[in-house]
Amino acid sequence: MKEKEIKKKIEELKDDEKISKQIDKNKSKAEDLLNDKKKMEHFLERLERKLSKIPFAGKYLSDVPVFISLVKSYVDKEYTEIPIGSIIAIISGLIYLLSPIDIIPDVVPGFGIVDDAAVIALVYRLVHDDIEEYKLWKIKIK
């Protein structure tokens, strides 16, 4: 699949109701993870391993490491200046990314991460301001 086609498909999927419904469906799982630090750590480790195996993840899923960092900072109570709804939306998107059940299965060559990228783009759009505030906070503490 060509890059132009991938970008177009990501934009189409970002507004797909199925993706929004899946994120909503993952909210209770996100809340459960937030309440169990060990499960959250294990979840984030699995997510990082998955990302390392996706050859071009950096290009389309470049916000995921920021999401992971923010969630870790939140769970460790280092950074809590984010609304609970935003943190749950981020975790819901990350759950989708790790889930083996996707709208487009990850095993579809060249196309399998398109729905994952669309979910991350949708979540980023929902929590953009919170992510930018977190990035500023990260810069200040360095």
Whole-model pTM? 0.79
* Chain centre to alpha carbon of residue 116: 8
How is residue 124 written in tokens? 């980023």
Looking at per-residue confidence, does 112 or 51 come out higher?
A: 51
* Chain centre to alpha carbon of residue 49: 14
pLDDT tens figures, 51-96: 777 665 556 677 889 999 999 999 999 999 999 999 999 999 999 8
Residue 142: what pLDDT?
A: 77
Q: What is the mean pLDDT of the chain?
A: 83
Do 110 and 118 contact (CB within 8 A), yes or no? no
